[in-house]
Amino acid sequence: KLSDADKAKLKNMNAELARLGTKFSQNVLAEVNASYIVVDDVKQLDGLSAGQIAAAAEAAKARKLDGKYVIALLNTTGQPALTNLTDRALRQKIHETSVSRGSKGGEYDNTALVSRIMTLRAQKAALMGFPNYAAYGLGNQTAKTPEAVNAMLGQLAPAAVANARREAADLQAMIDREQKAAGKPGFELQPWDWAFYSEKVRQAKYNFDESQLKPYFELKNVLENGVFFAAGKEFGLSFKQRTDLPVYHDDVTVYDVFDADGSQLAIFIFDPYARASKRGGAWMNAYVSQSGLTGDKPVVANHLNIPKPPAGKPTLLTWDEVTTTFHEFGHALHGMFSNVKYPYFSGTAVPRDFVEFPSQVNEMWADEPTILANYAKHYQNCSAMPQALLEKVIAASKFN
Ligand SMILES: [Zn+2]
């Protein structure tokens, strides 16, 4: 039990940690918005689709750089353009801009914040009687101890590293072959080459490229005939779009979610597009937590960062974005099926090292053949994805 003096100390630490945490996130968002790459000549964008080039021109206009092109960064380490850009120097620039965020100096640098957060965490753990912050943080997780975490990582890491080395060897072989065929000097695989040559190896191995798939993965179709369809098959859920509720952004759609017996289970908010004010990645949020005590039904949202297409163009997803949509909906299901008395324990308020379980399971429906066949339809003529391509998708989804 803490003395009054220690309680006061803990309160101060928690307050400072909360402040630093908020500042950290604000810096991350400000830095990603400030870290775009300007391209003068459209030739440098070789490899991008017409849609991607149009988006880059629009992004430049939005920054008053008319006539130029802007590659805006997503708030992830990898950047989608790296898959397609043939200009290696530009790939390097994008990658380096991406990974230097937060630690390159300047007003949004988080280095000092991280150092202060770690100091405070170590002090907090000591105050609470733990040898370190990892032990303190894991006390109420399913893993329980740092030893258990390290034992599991010790099992995973050798297999993961072996896989990565095998993939790197495949990529290097592709580079060597291509450079030789073009009569150009070879080079060593670098991080900014990984996505680009992965896509080439994938094309060679499975004989298709991402751009062949995208027309079959229109966003609303993936959501309604893929994600919702799977939830209908698995749990008997049904969904009805609502247009009468006020939303915080025009791009947001809202659905009533009905349980198998027809009663209302939840409201689902779908917010797919990247915006300058939005934090990166994809996540689920419960705006109203289910609670037997208050009688509240859950209102849950999925927030994604899919690049918004130019006006009038359809939103066509990559395979990665399709699986992310399924994944995040697994978290949404976790929140919607919550059945507890106290809102404190509602939905995804479970140990952090369990919380990815429902989402990982839901993600597996994306390439389940009957589900995939139900949503993989061409956005222009609704034609089904050709069986051969469908099979390649399933095979290639196990690749990289
Ligand atoms: Zn997740």
Structure tokens at 13: 């630490």
What pLDDT is recorded for position 76? 82
Tell me the CA–centroid distance for residue 94 and ligand 1, in Å.
26
Structural domains for the chain: 141-206 (no CATH), 214-379 (1.10.1370.40)
Catalytic: 328? Answer: yes
Q: What is the pLDDT of residue 400?
A: 57
Query: Which three-class secondary structure string do you get for 334-398?
Result: HHHCCCCCCHHHCCCCCCCCCCCHHHHHHHHHHHCHHHHHHHCECCCCCCECCHHHHHHHHHHCC
Judge whether 160 and 129 are in contact, CB under 8 Å. Answer: no
Alpha helices in the chain (DSSP H): 4-34, 50-62, 88-99, 111-127, 133-138, 146-181, 191-206, 210-213, 219-221, 228-235, 319-336, 357-363, 369-375, 387-396
| Gyration radius of the chain's alpha carbons | 24
- State pLDDT tens for residues 60-98: 999 999 999 999 998 888 898 999 999 999 999 999 999
Count Cα atoms within 13 angstroms, Cβ side, for 241: 8
> What's the 170 CA to ligand 1 centre distance in angstroms?
29
In degrees to the nearest 10, what's the CA dihedral of 166, 172, 176, 177? 50
Q: Ligand 1: distance of its center to the CA of 304 in Å?
A: 12
- How far does residue 283's CA lie from ligand 1's centre (Å)? 7
* Intervals of the chain under pLDDT 70: 399-400
- Residue identified by tokens 């230097």 is 100
Q: What is the pLDDT of residue 358?
A: 96
Between the CA of 209 and the centroid of ligand 1 the distance, in Å, is 26
Residue 284 Cα to ligand 1 middle (Å): 8
ipTM score here? 0.99
Contacts of 267 (CB under 8 A, 6+ apart): 242, 245, 254, 255, 256, 257, 288, 297, 298, 299, 300
Calculate how far, in angstroms, residue 98's C-alpha sits from the geometric centre of ligand 1: 22
Cα–Cα nearest to 355, from 286, 292, 259, 266: 286
171-221 residue pLDDT tens: 999 999 999 999 999 999 999 999 999 989 988 888 777 788 899 999 999
255 token code pair: 């659905």
Q: What is the pLDDT of residue 388?
A: 85
How far is the centre of ligand 1, averaged over its atoms, from the C-alpha of 326 (Å)?
10
Catalytic one of 188, 328, 356, 391: 328
Q: What residues sit around ligand 1, an ion, with C-beta below 5 angstroms?
A: 356, 359
Which strand (E) or helix (H) includes residue 38? Answer: strand 37-39
CA distances from residue 298 to 43, 247, 272, 350 in whole angstroms, order as listed: 50, 17, 20, 16
